[in-house]
Amino acid sequence: MTDDTQPQPQQQPYYPPRPPYDPAQPITTEPGTTVWPSGGHVPSGGHVPPPTGPAGPVGAFPAAPTPHRRARRGVGLMAAVALAAAAIGGGTATLVQQWTADGGTSASSAVSGTNVSASSKGTVAGVAQAVSPSIVEISASSNAGKSTGSGVIITGDGEIVTNNHVISGASRISVQTSDGKSYDAKVVGTDPDKDLALIKLEGASGLRTATLGDSSRVRVGDGVVAIGSPEGLTGTVTSGIVSALDRDVTVAKDDGGQDQGQGQQYDPRQGWPFEFGGQQFNGDTGSSKTTYKAIQTDASLNPGNSGGALINMNGEIIGINSAMYSPSSSSGSSAGSVGLGFAIPVNTLKADLDDLRSGGAG
């Protein structure tokens, strides 16, 4: 008997002939990266085998690789477009950055509160170019002779600060600005105790003014620039550092143009007599004298620098040069600077300005 439970023979499935094998082609997205449509990693020169596994239903054909290849190529195209957009975007950002930088430079052409250009900040040349137009040469004539000093323009209509000893007892004061123009000047006020004076030019307007800084912020070792007219050499620029602060400097007070102290006149070739550290320099200070706290500098100062400016590297006035030591040569003339100069702190000047404008204390 035949066992009904035995499996019945089944009809063999029909497999149509496969189409010729067309290996998938790699898609290159960027240098060094290759994507194969099969999703697998195939070494260079390798072969992608046909898919394996159970056969599909009768009459079914394996899925053609073309749709996958098109999809992958679409991804590659999108990646290429993204890379191009990134490159363009980066270039645009670079252009914007350059434009912004250029705009920033032109928009900030000067250091805030000063005449120093931003590109020249911190340089002697930049400070000299910015401040020199605000420094003048002063010639004072009196019965005792003629002396030469310097001054600092503080208002556009010609208010000028200088040392009292530069204009003391003068019967006539003439001033020459950095552009070569000459003006007559009158004394507004003097303060012999601080060796300060204020004069005013006649008929002046539109002058370049100096920026007064803050001498309380000055530190030993700070770079400084001195501008003045030593020996009548208008607009001479020297530089150095702040050597010390709060030096007690004693100078002779003026005597109304008469002889100083013990019958000794001020000789502009030797500089104004002063005392420092218990020693006398440039002659006898006499019996009438005053002492003030000074900024010491090694910037070269010579006779004629008196009343000129000591300037920080931002172009701000931090002191009025007032005393300098120049040892005498055998001929009796000044032998030059030895790096021992002193300036009246600008804060002393600022505190005294109202008094000077009202006639001063002298």
Active site residue: 165, 191, 215, 352, which one? 165
What pLDDT score does 349 carry? 97
Active site residue: 178, 300, 306, 337, which one? 306
354 among known catalytic residues: no
> How far apart are alpha carbons 265 and 353 in whole angstroms?
28
Active site residue: 195, 267, 298, 352, which one? 195
What pLDDT score does 50 carry? 53
pLDDT at residue 248 above 50? yes
> How far apart are alpha carbons 344 and 249 in whole angstroms?
9
165 among known catalytic residues: yes
Q: Residue 129, Cα to own-chain centre: how many angstroms?
A: 13
CA dihedral of residues 317, 319, 322, 326 (deg, nearest 10): -90
Q: What would the pLDDT profile of 192-218 be if each residue is shown by its tens digit? A: 999 999 999 999 999 999 999 999 999
Contacts of 208 by beta carbon, 8 Å cutoff, 6+ apart: 115, 133, 134, 153, 156
Which pTM does this prediction carry? 0.63
What pLDDT score does 91 carry? 47
CA dihedral of residues 340, 294, 237, 307 (deg, nearest 10): -120
195 among known catalytic residues: yes
Q: Which helix (H) or strand (E) holds 186?
A: strand 182-191
